[in-house]
Amino acid sequence: MTATEAARAIAAGKLSATELMEACLARAAAREPVVRAFMHLDAGQARRNAVKARPGALHGIPVAVKDVLDTADMPTGYGSPIWAGHRPRGDAAAVAAARAAGGVIMGKTVTTEFATRSPGATSNPHNAGHTPGGSSSGSAAAVADFMVPIAFGTQTAGSIVRPAAYCGVVGFKPSYGTLHRGGMKVCSESLDTIGIMARSLADCALAMGAMTGRDHPDPEAKRDRAPRLLLSLGQAPGDAKAETVALLHRAADAARAAGAEVVEAPLPPALLEAAELHPFMMNMETRQGLAWEIAEARAQISAVLLDRMDWAGGFPPAKLEEARHAAMAARAAFLDWTAGFDAVLTPSAPGEAPAGLAYTGDATFNLLWTLLHGPNVTIPAGTGPAGLPMGVQLAGRVSEDPALLGTARWVQAALEN
């Protein structure tokens, strides 16, 4: 069941919160030895949480929490041995919002170290020899493998969209700041954004509406017109594999056949410049966010993260200001570039999930849309040469989140026809 289907069944008295949790726990028990999506999963605790689920739009729906978000009743280690065994006193604001809406916190999912590069143990549920992506590794895998219908993710470059695409689920990064970051291990002040993973766009609308109180119409509702889409391979088109380029054009052709206007257009120079400076913003701000860990627990930080932090420390503060100014200019240019269009249709990732678990994939096709602060979402769009999932991404303007989900559902329906 999707979250939307389960919510309707619970509301109709055909399913209980405890029955749904038992089904999720049974699936997790069967699959966790292979997928390893959870860093903390206590079946007894999950059952108790289901019994005391509050009324609300998410009443009884199991929710998994990425381990960079605090939970009052579960450990929060931020993917780092430095914080092993840490027990926060309270919930992160987003977790509290999910509970207040009736969501049942099932467990904590694996994240890469501080939501950066060094991976955890999670494997791709479609092929255990491949990465699930990162940094929201466990959340993507748990949703894709039917262990839980909704899971929190976070994104600084591509940490929601890319793993969701690799695992074949919907990954939604809302507009920056939509879900409050209180109680999150924030690394990049200008970029870190909390979002969700689910198995349908309707689930994303349900969850976001429930947690924010904002009206999120059903993406399945009939539109009064076909959308107008910009088509773009982003700032590094040469990084897209042949199957990704073919998939993007197949999506564009399907949208045109269903009545959409699709226009291919080059990125404005301001967007290209901002994308080039994204790594400086991300890593220099992360170095600020991890100042205590770097000073007091350096030996427990992975070599790959230390390398990035030492690199970031080699630039003057003016470089960070340059990146921030470029991002502001890009946001203004994006509004002009997309005027009259509903969304940008673009790749979710360079290709399928890479083999092995040591590398979580490339965020090239995500980082620009993240720094623009608008919503972006990936939808499943078939499989690639190795039989692994692939997705296409849609990016929209700040605060137009409900409309973007509706446009994404329209494109998804066009691909299904």
User: For the residues of 127-174, what is the DSSP string, one character each?
Assistant: BTTB---SSSHHHHHHHHTTS-SEEEEEESSSTTHHHHHHHTSEEEE-
Cα separation, 86 vs 372, in Å, equals 33
Neighbours of 240 (CB within 10 A): 21
* Whole-number pLDDT of residue 316: 98
* Whole-number pLDDT of residue 141: 99
Cα separation, 34 vs 18, in Å, equals 25
Paired with 355 in beta bridges are 130
Q: Are the C-beta atoms of residues 145 and 389 closer than 8 Å to each other? A: no
Query: Helices 269-289 and 317-337: crossing angle, nearest 10°?
Result: 140
* Whole-number pLDDT of residue 198: 98
* Whole-number pLDDT of residue 294: 98
Q: Are the C-beta atoms of residues 345 and 252 closer than 8 Å to each other? A: yes
Cα separation, 95 vs 54, in Å, equals 13
**Pairing between β-strand 104-109 and β-strand 38-40 as defined by DSSP bridges:** antiparallel
Looking at the annotation, which residues are catalytic?
A: 66, 135, 159
Cα separation, 5 vs 9, in Å, equals 6
Cα separation, 386 vs 128, in Å, equals 13
- Please report, rounded to a whole number, the percentage of residues in the chain having pLDDT higher than 70: 100
Condensed to tens digits (0 to 9), the pLDDT of residues 123-161 reads 999 999 999 999 999 999 999 999 999 999 999 999 999
For residue 26, give the amino acid letter: A
* Whole-number pLDDT of residue 124: 98
Taking phi over 0 as left and psi of -120 to 50 as alpha, with beta for the rest, 334 belongs to: alpha
pLDDT along the chain (417 residues), means of 10: 98 98 98 98 98 98 99 98 98 98 98 97 98 98 98 98 98 98 98 98 98 96 95 98 98 98 97 98 98 98 98 98 98 98 98 98 98 98 98 98 98 96
* Whole-number pLDDT of residue 360: 98
Q: From the CA atom positions of the chain, what is the Rg in Å? A: 20
Paired with 130 in beta bridges are 355, 356
pTM beyond 0.85: the answer is yes
Q: Rounded to the nearest 5°, which phi and psi values hold at 158?
A: -150, 30
